[in-house]
Structure 1
Amino acid sequence: MLRIMQYLGELVLAQLDNKKPSNIPEGIQVEELEYIACNNHMNYIILQALLKTDLPEEKKASMKSIIMQSTILSLTQVGCIRELEERLEQEGIYHQILKGSVIKRIYPSPEMREMSDIDVMIYDENMNRAKRVVEGMGFTLLCSIKHHDIYVKPPFLTIELHYELFSKNVNQNQYDYFHNEKHTNVKEGRKYALQFSTEDFYVYLIVHMAKHFYEAGCGIRNVVDIYYYRRLYQVAWDEVYIENKLEECGVLEFEKRVHTLARVWLGGEEIDKFSQNLFEYLVECGIYGKGENGIWGQIATLNHTPIIKNKSHARLWYYFPPISYMQRDYPWLIKQPHLLGLAWGIRAITGLFNKEGRKKREMLLDIDNDKVNKIYEIYKGMQLNFKNEKTKG
């Protein structure tokens, strides 16, 4: 994997800097690179770089087809974002374009940064009005989950309307920090379009990545975002401010680990074992992660968690979690801790009919002990402080 890691870094940098990469090294299969590109939503940035190598023409032809599809999607999304912003501005709805829609604009070309959907935050209880705007653009409601509504427009456009950026049930500090528009400013030339400062967007970028990492894992595209964003802006920003805010949100060590990986993978620094293991884990997770990965975040971030030495320990934890974990799903345990056994029973019965629960059990049965240790050490090293309480200080 180390050789693939190094060559993938060369491909990404070649595309970012408009250079020609070296040909695929011996021992690396082009199919491996294609799979990683697809699984991490990096088709354009990786495959476009590969087109500059000495691949057979028939292989280049198939790559060009994938790149064309990715380009069409990206450019359609850019047009949709522009129309959505104009309509929300005309309706006087306070809003903020989020995540990939912002990152797209900083890359040398927007198609280099692929994304699945268009995320927008709606402020000041304007959600119903925003829904009418989106429906007026031809979108229909697919579903409402957690703190956002998902709208789709065939063949491939998706808009997520958010009314909260982060859940207070996951981390109170993060919820408080991003709860309202106090960290935003109005875009130049607009009245109702809000945006983060350069520093606060970076904090948001890290917190959002940490959330996905904790819940299911996330892919290497996030590392490229962090590398390139820092390359553009860190010379002029307030690093002390950023560190303070990251610490406030419980993700300072997480950022340090990911930033180190970015410097190692794309910045030419000497590789360390933790960064190599983290890279391999992110590559395997892919852009959406895997639901069963969430168990490692839960195990590693709870207070007083014993060291997980093998999959038997992890399985025991999964079937009989500590009360601090159980209280999240069964709040009545806070006042009635003596009913922990009953809660375990309810959880076990519920899990029999739950797809995610079955996947987690299968994962714990199939995984080998070396991988248990490696993944556990990764999550423990990230030091995510995702607790539903305010951190002291």
Structure 2
Amino acid sequence: MAYFSKETEYFLYVLRCAISGKTPEKPQGDLDWAELMTISKKQEVYAVIAAVLPLEYLPGEIAATLNNYNKSELARLIAMKSELALLETDLEENGIRFMLLKGSRIKAFYPRESMRQMSDIDILYDQTKRDSLIKIMKSHGYTLYSWSENSDDFHKKPVYTFEFHRELFFDEFGFVPDFSFVWDNATVDSDNSCKYVMSDSDLYLHAIAHLYKHYVLGGVGVRFLMDIYLLLKKAKLDTAYIADRIGAMELTDFEKTVRELSLALFDGDELSEEQLAFLEVTVSFGVYGNSHKGRELQYEHFRESHGGSTSMLRYTLSRIFPSSEYMHRTYRVLDKAPYLLPYFYVHRMITKTITDGGRATREIKEINEINKKEQ
């Protein structure tokens, strides 16, 4: 792979070995192990590397770090699993339908579930029960630290984070596929009458749509391709049904590109020039690509929706004070009490500053840089 450094080539080789259940061979010649670890962390597949790479290959300090990670991550996974079980019981007792999403389901297709790295647990739930959900989470010591048009994020120290989705997608630059059908196709868990299990085909569809969303917002990392590969190889997929749904989302060409690249990459086949170019971008940044690229797209979309020209001040104000439609989707109480809109603008500003002020600062800096380029 002439496109990549030897560290990146070995990184991809180790991932391929991990998926196939093989132990990777020791690299020939010198390798910058610190760079390899940096790549794996940015791509959020550190757990895969830690699980399959023999420690004797590594310099002492890096080997110790990797070994400690394995131990601490195992403890975290056990704690998260126990916490999820408690929450699932409460959700059932309160009659709240729910469904595990993304990595919480896809991890079952990995050789070892611990290989699928996750910073939180994503759950789709019946949004009519939002008030009850918030009460449950607060009763367990959680703080609602972030919310958006389609999800509520809860955190409890030291390691517990749950993202509860009211819907799977909201309108981002015109891409808002309707995934309400997942409830109809799901099966009910035998041990919990409110726990729904998404069908494998819908899991694949959601993985593709989720990948596409991140792709257009800034890019994706190689972990997305691993997920797609394992679903293609191990899940029970209805290909005709998937083709129809993919076509309805107008993602036929994109899905074909991702599917063929995933299969070729992890089956060890030779990649085409187009596939190499796609992969080069995939491994160049983090698991969610390049945030600056996503910010440029977001800013350009805003400008186009306002006649092709707008100031940075106007854009910044739109981020601080989003549309009333956005506010109503995020704060459902406004449907009954619209006069509270000014209060929730202030509430949102204060809360976002406290919980995520660094992100806002980075966004303003990025927009300033974009503006300077265009002047």
Fold agreement, TM-score > 0.5: yes
Query: Does the CA-based 8 Å contact 1:117-1:158 persist in structure 2?
Result: yes
Query: Does the CA-based 8 Å contact 1:264-1:271 persist in structure 2?
Result: yes
Instruction: Please name the residue that 1:304 is paired with.
Output: none
Instruction: Please name the residue that 2:337 is paired with.
Output: none
Q: Secondary structure in 2 aligned to 1:38?
A: helix
Instruction: Please name the residue that 2:290 is paired with.
Output: 290
Instruction: Please name the residue that 2:242 is paired with.
Output: 242
Residue type of the alignment partner of 2:188: V
Structure 2 unaligned segments of length 5 or more: list them. Answer: 318-359
2:218 maps to 1:216: yes
2:255 maps to 1:255: yes
For 1:56-93, what per-residue CA distance to the aligned partner results, in whole angstroms no more than 9, with x for missing partners? 34431122122323333233222222222222122211
Query: Does the CA-based 8 Å contact 1:24-1:30 persist in structure 2?
Result: no
Residue type of the alignment partner of 1:291: S
2:151 maps to 1:148: yes
Q: Which moved more, 1:85-94 or 1:6-15?
A: 6-15
Cα pair distance change 1:355/1:41, threshold 3 Å: closer
Instruction: Please name the residue that 1:345 is paired with.
Output: 310
Q: In the aligned structure 2, how far is the partner of 1:148 from the partner of 1:60?
A: 38
Instruction: Please name the residue that 2:131 is paired with.
Output: 128
Cα pair distance change 1:262/1:180, threshold 3 Å: closer
Structure 1 residue 4 displacement after superposition = 4.2
2:81 maps to 1:103: no
Query: Does the CA-based 8 Å contact 1:37-1:47 persist in structure 2?
Result: no
2:155 maps to 1:190: no
Structure 1 residue 172 displacement after superposition = 6.1
Cα pair distance change 1:271/1:153, threshold 3 Å: same
Q: In the aligned structure 1, how far is the partner of 2:282 from the partner of 2:371?
A: 19
Q: In the aligned structure 2, how far is the partner of 1:40 from the partner of 1:73?
A: 20
| Counterpart pick for 1:138 among 141, 145, 153 | 141
Residue type of the alignment partner of 2:165: H
Cα pair distance change 1:33/1:119, threshold 3 Å: same
Q: In the aligned structure 1, how far is the partner of 2:62 from the partner of 2:82?
A: 31
Instruction: Please name the residue that 1:227 is paired with.
Output: 229
Instruction: Please name the residue that 1:89 is paired with.
Output: 92
Q: Secondary structure in 2 aligned to 1:125?
A: helix
For 1:6-28, what per-residue CA distance to the aligned partner results, in whole angstroms no more than 9, with x for missing partners? 42233123333432211123354
Q: In the aligned structure 1, how far is the partner of 2:361 from the partner of 2:156?
A: 30
Instruction: Please name the residue that 1:308 is paired with.
Output: none
2:365 maps to 1:362: no
Q: In the aligned structure 2, how far is the partner of 1:253 from the partner of 1:360?
A: 32
Cα pair distance change 1:195/1:69, threshold 3 Å: same
2:304 maps to 1:326: yes
Residue type of the alignment partner of 1:22: E
| Structure 2 length-normalised TM | 0.78
Residue type of the alignment partner of 2:133: A
Query: Does the CA-based 8 Å contact 1:165-1:179 persist in structure 2?
Result: no
Q: Secondary structure in 2 aligned to 1:41?
A: coil
For 1:315-353, what per-residue CA distance to the aligned partner results, in whole angstroms no more than 9, with x for missing partners? xxx7xx589x622xx5xxxxxxxxx36xx2345654599
Residue type of the alignment partner of 2:204: Y
Query: Does the CA-based 8 Å contact 2:182-2:199 persist in structure 1?
Result: no
2:246 maps to 1:268: no
Q: In the aligned structure 1, how far is the partner of 2:151 from the partner of 2:222?
A: 25
Structure 1 residue 221 displacement after superposition = 0.9
Query: Does the CA-based 8 Å contact 1:185-1:195 persist in structure 2?
Result: yes
Q: In the aligned structure 2, how far is the partner of 1:128 from the partner of 1:239?
A: 39
Q: Which moved more, 1:141-150 or 1:23-32?
A: 23-32
Q: In the aligned structure 2, how far is the partner of 1:105 from the partner of 1:80?
A: 19
Q: Secondary structure in 2 aligned to 1:270?
A: coil
For 1:86-145, what per-residue CA distance to the aligned partner results, in whole angstroms no more than 9, with x for missing partners? 221222111111111112233232210111111111215011111122222221111222
Cα pair distance change 1:97/1:295, threshold 3 Å: same
Query: Does the CA-based 8 Å contact 1:148-1:161 persist in structure 2?
Result: yes
Instruction: Please name the residue that 2:183 is paired with.
Output: 181
| Counterpart pick for 1:15 among 7, 18, 31 | 18
Q: In the aligned structure 1, how far is the partner of 2:174 from the partner of 2:266?
A: 31
Q: In the aligned structure 1, how far is the partner of 2:59 from the partner of 2:312?
A: 54
Residue type of the alignment partner of 1:248: A
Residue type of the alignment partner of 1:286: G
Structure 1 unaligned segments of length 5 or more: list them. Answer: 299-317, 331-339, 367-393
